[in-house]
Amino acid sequence: MRLTLRIWRQRGTSDAGELVTYPMDDVSPDMSFLEMLDVLNEELILRGEEPVAFDHDCREGICGMCGLMINGVAHGPERATTACQLHMRHFADGDTVTIEPWRARPFPVVRDLVVDRSAFDRIIESGGYISAPTGSAPDAHAVPVPKPDADTAFEAAACIGCGACVAACPNGSAMLFTAAKATHLGLLPQGQPERYSRAEAMVRTHDELGFGGCTNTGECTAVCPKGIPLDTIGRLNSDLLRGALRS
């Protein structure tokens, strides 16, 4: 396959950056998107140019490190698929593919396609945990959990923190991520004591970090590689409002 890549190149956070065009002559349809970038980087290194910086780790769709805006869609054209799990067979010979980093004020570009997502860590630190005395692990059946709650909590826990929801949101909101974390803990018995304060604290941090507000457009769910449903945001809203009415 022949492809024309247009890749965002930016030396550092303060650099202006620009789109640079790279023709690719011999792309195998069996390559993953990241392998295709590896091939490009090898060529760049051989030519003595700077390789394109991009984030990745597991390359099997579970770590959440990879994240690219591919032709204007977070993680590319395939639904419920991370960029690392996207294969080149989903593109056609002769295509032009534009690759950009996530764009949001709380996600500054570090270099090329790499953004700093530690804003997510700040949100987690503010409430994405349970306070419990640790010790030896309790028996698995010591605390009964209703099956539907367990399923919904598990579904929310599948969030890998990739940031695609923020990248796709027209408001630059991280509500889907925040809601996934709050739902995951708020539905389980262990998460109950801090349920309302958690919602409040996480949303406050979310807002302070400069993420936008949710307008329920659903762009986030559509690109989320784990298919976190939009209802999780409704659940977070409900927890936050209920907590505010209680206090």
Partner 1 sequence: MVRLWRSTVGKKAVMAVSGAGLLLYVIAHMLANLKIFFGARSLDGYGHWLRELAAPVFGYEGVVWIARAGLLACVLLHMTTAIQLARRARAARPIGYRHRRPVQGSYSARTMRWGGVLIALFVVYHVLDITAGVVNPNGVPGQDYRNVTASFGRWYVAVFYMLAVTALGFHIRHGMWSAFQSLGISTAKRRRALRAIALGVAVVITAGFLSVPIAVLTGVLT
Residue ranges in contact with ligand SF4 by CB under 6 A: 159-165, 176-177, 180, 224-226, 228
Rounded CA separation 226/158 (Å): 6
Report the residue number, 21 or 28, with the smaller CB distance to partner 1.
21
Dmax (CA) for the chain in angstroms is 64
Query: Of the two residues 65 and 123, which places its CB atom closer to ligand FES in the complex?
Result: 65
Residue 182 near which of ligand SF4, ligand FES, partner 1, none (CB within 5-8 Å, type-dependent)? none
- The Cα–Cα gap between 243 and 83 comes to 38
Residue nearer to ligand FES on the CB measure, 1 or 62: 62
88 binds, among partner 1, ligand FES, ligand SF4, none (CB under 5 to 8 A by kind): none
Angstrom CA distances, 181 to 158, 188, 211, 217, 236, stand at 9, 12, 16, 20, 9
Given 5, 32, 64, 176, the residue binding ligand FES (CB under 6 A): 64
Helices (H), 32-136: 33-46, 118-125
Return the residue matching tokens 């065009």. 21
CB 174 → ligand SF4: shortest distance, Å?
8
Q: Which of ligand FES, partner 1, ligand SF4, none does residue 226 bind (CB under 5 to 8 Å by kind)?
A: ligand SF4
Tell me which of ligand SF4, partner 1, ligand FES, none is bound by residue 66, counting a contact when its beta carbon lies within the kind-specific cut-off of 5 to 8 angstroms: ligand FES
Residue 242 belongs to what H/E stretch? Answer: helix 231-246
DSSP assignment letter at 50: P
Beta bridge mates, 96:
4
Near partner 1 in 108-167, by CB under 8 A: none
3-state secondary structure of 22: strand
DSSP 141: T
The token pair at 143 is 């605390």
At its nearest, how many Å lie between ligand FES and the CB of residue 60? 6
Which residue, 32 or 221, has its beta carbon nearer to partner 1? 221
Asked whether 37 and 31 are in contact (CB, 8 A), the reply is no
Stretch binding partner 1 (CB under 8 A), from 32-40, 58-66, 190-198, 223-231? 223-231
Q: Which amino acid is at 120?
A: F
In the block, residue with structure tokens 């620009």: 18
Q: Does 61 bind ligand FES (CB under 6 A)?
A: yes
- The rounded distance, in Å, linking the Cα atoms of 66 and 79 is 15
| Smallest distance, ligand FES to C-beta of residue 1, A | 22
Binding site for ligand FES (CB under 6 A): 56-59, 61-66, 82, 84
Residues in the site for partner 1, rule: CB under 8 A?
6, 8, 19, 69, 71-73, 98, 100, 103-106, 168, 170-173, 175, 200, 203-204, 206-207, 210-219, 221-223, 229-231, 233-242, 244
